[in-house]
Amino acid sequence: MDIRSAQKTAWDNKVTKDFNTTNVPLEFGLLTAEVGEAFTAWRKGLPDFGEELADVFLYVAALAEMNGIDLQEEVERKLTKNRARTYERDSRGVPIRIQDPASE
């Protein structure tokens, strides 16, 4: 399944189940809770870590749909932008962006 199809399927599920489809701040709050659950699952080595990451994706997809964003298009655009960037590590080993063709 591609991102666009997943976004539509997730949205259709929210509509069918009468879940939140209009309150963007609430959706961000629920997304934050899901990120916390994913972190806890990872930290504790729980078997549902993948499922929690899927929940995070589904909330992001819902936020995109609520705001009229084609998430697949945005992800593809961002991946292209990231590929064109160049980084060098500083003295601490932290990657520092030295070239960003998209902003030149």
* Res 104 pLDDT > 60: no
The confidence band for 102, taking pLDDT boundaries of 50, 70 and 90, is low
Tens-digit pLDDT profile for residues 34-68: 999 999 999 999 999 999 999 999 999 999 999 99
The 10s digit of each residue's pLDDT in 4-33 is 999 999 999 999 999 999 999 999 999 999
pLDDT at 101 over 80: no
Domain boundaries, the chain: 3-103
CA 60 to chain centre: 5
Work out the percent of the chain whose per-residue pLDDT is above 70.
97
Q: What is the pTM of this model?
A: 0.85
DSSP the chain: --HHHHHHHHHHHHHHTT--SS-HHHHHHHHHHHHHHHHHHHHTT-TTHHHHHHHHHHHHHHHHHHTT--HHHHHHHHHHHHHH-EEEE-TTS-EEEEE-GGG-
**Residue 89 belongs to what H/E stretch?**
strand 86-89
Superfamily of domain 3-103: MazG-like (1.10.287.1080)
Query: HSE-up of 44 (CA within 13 Å, CB side)?
Result: 11
pLDDT at 103 over 80: no
